[in-house]
Amino acid sequence: EMVKQMARQPLIFALANPVPEILPQLALEARPDAILATGRSDFPNQVNNVLCFPYIFRGALDVGATAINEAMKKAAVVAIAELAEAEQSEEVAAVYSEESLTFGTQYLIPKPFDPRLISKVAPAVAQAAMDSGVATRPITDMHAYIEHLSGFIYHSNLLMKPVFEMAKKTPRRLAYAEGEDERVLHAVQTVVDEGIAKPILVGRPAVIEQRIARLGLRIRAGVDFELVNPDEDPRYREYWTEYHRLMARRGVTPEVAKRDMRRRSTLIAAMLVRMGAADAMLCGTVGQPLHHLRYIDEVIGHRPGSSVYGAMNILLLPRHTLFICDTHVNLDPSAEEIAEMTLLAAEEVRYFGIAPKVALLSHSNFGSHNDASARKMARARELLELQMPELEVEGEIHGDAALSETMRSGIFPAARLKGQANLLVMPNLDAANIAYNLLKMTAGDGITIGSILLGANKSAHILTSTATARRIV
């Protein structure tokens, strides 16, 4: 009866636990226009102090606040409110996949799992403390502070920071082959917000627009990203004609070229790069890596002087950052192919500002076995020493000896490799893929970067179907 007598759209906070003062279904029966919040996670709009207390304390402590005043509390409230109205993060959407997380009566308050809380609320509180005069250690670079806090969420931040900073200086046109994928759309929102690249999405406009709206994203076609519609692109004839020219003697007829240029999004993205409409491409969130590599090979091809492709993944482990090669492409590469891939991988490692320390891994340790696999890795080392004498490389070598200088020096004191190896080159695809996936799940909390395609003539990279939005970024 009390609820029935309330004003229009009454806001009801029934926060008693475990049984609220009035259950949401009863309140809504009495007043369908009511807006409700409870203290329980099984009802919409859970009011939980975990949304504010940790981050108020964090912001206050980081600036040495002498008090937590009203200005700081208000700043926390405003930051939480803004986050509720922002687009939803992929992490939260995955946990609450059956709920609509667009701001409204059923979603007034961010979820406790939202990883952005620390990087939104704590800086707002810290800034309010400084503005209100209670901070004893003012933060001089708020942007750096926010990045520091984000590092607690995204452990790839430290490694990727110089890459992102370089990308921001001259943003490149990046074609996303699977432009309709929700993970890609989340990633594009981040890319646009951070100014990392100029996105180009391949996909059906109606599908992309509907998913952007459902996810609550802010990106707009024609403003924040270019949209390539496979069904109605004015370059269609030019592109299928060029594809047919490339593949005419490899079994691709004009009809096949026309069909594939409408249906194969990886082919379309690769052609955008080839024809100068994009600077780089990203694909692989759907399908098998080798399927995508086929179109990249046909349209973009090998870089000059290279005859092999390879895939390198980066694992961000608690004690190490490891680069692993070749995780997705070559089933059983020769010594010559391993040497070439190693040089390509070492070049990529340097791009991250890290000096490559290469270990050619094997079940054999410095000649302890003489089978074909061991000889192959030993031969690859010999080739590398001839081709790039300055490269710090050793092998064939056990995995533990590659990571432990103490163990390695006890076995072979004259080893050229010093310290811990950071680029681990495997003898075959099985070894690389198994090692990468085991380490990713058991030691790295699933935190990876890549895969990075090695050996292509232009920037083209193939992800896997398990890639998150953050890895896409």
Checking if the pLDDT of 16 tops 90, the result is no
Could you tell me if 144 and 171 lie in one domain?
no
Peptide bond between residue 451 and the one before it cis (omega within 30 degrees of 0) = yes
- Of the three residues 117, 150, 183, the one that is the final residue of a domain is 150
Number of structural domains found in the chain: 3
Listed range (99-103, 177-181, 392-396, 402-406) with the worst mean pLDDT: 99-103
Q: 19-42, pLDDT tens digit by residue?
A: 888 888 888 989 899 999 888 877
The answer as to whether 18 is a domain residue is no
Mean pLDDT of 247-255: 96
DSSP class of residue 112? Answer: T
217: domain CATH number? 3.40.50.10950
Report which residue type is found at 193: D
Q: Tell me the three state secondary structure of residue 313.
A: strand
The answer as to whether 28 is a domain residue is no
| 215, 185 Cβ separation under 8 angstroms | yes
pLDDT for position 401 = 96
What is the span of the domain harbouring residue 121? 48-150
pTM of the model: 0.75
Could you tell me if 131 and 179 lie in one domain?
no
Checking if the pLDDT of 97 tops 80, the result is no
Could you tell me if 145 and 221 lie in one domain?
no
Label residue 441 by pLDDT band (50, 70, 90): confident
Q: 110-160, pLDDT tens digit by residue?
A: 887 777 888 899 999 999 999 999 999 999 999 889 888 876 666 565 667
Could you tell me if 281 and 320 lie in one domain?
no
Q: Distance between CA atoms of 385 and 419, rounded to whole angstroms?
A: 19
The answer as to whether 357 is a domain residue is yes
- Spatial neighbors of 178 by CB under 8 A, at least 6 apart, are 184, 202, 203, 265, 283, 284, 285, 286
Q: Tell me the three state secondary structure of residue 316.
A: strand
| 396, 389 Cβ separation under 8 angstroms | no
The answer as to whether 469 is a domain residue is no
Could you tell me if 375 and 266 lie in one domain?
no
The answer as to whether 388 is a domain residue is yes
Q: Distance between CA atoms of 57 and 41, rounded to whole angstroms?
A: 23
Label residue 447 by pLDDT band (50, 70, 90): confident
Mean pLDDT of 83-107: 70
Peptide bond between residue 18 and the one before it cis (omega within 30 degrees of 0) = yes
The answer as to whether 4 is a domain residue is no
Q: Pairing mode, if any, of strands 310-316 and 423-425?
A: unpaired
Q: How would DSSP label each residue in 10-60?
A: -EEEE--SSS-SS-HHHHHHH-TT-EEEES-TTSSSB--GGGTHHHHHHHH
Could you tell me if 246 and 374 lie in one domain?
no
Q: How would DSSP label each residue in 281-309?
A: EEE-SSS-HHHHHHHHHHHT-BPTT----
Q: Which residue has the higher pLDDT, 45 or 425?
A: 425
The share of the chain scoring above pLDDT 90, in percent, equals: 67
With tokens 């692993």, the residue in question is 324
Could you tell me if 323 and 451 lie in one domain?
yes
- Of the three residues 132, 150, 168, the one that is the final residue of a domain is 150
Could you tell me if 143 and 236 lie in one domain?
no
366: domain CATH number? 3.40.50.10750
The answer as to whether 2 is a domain residue is no
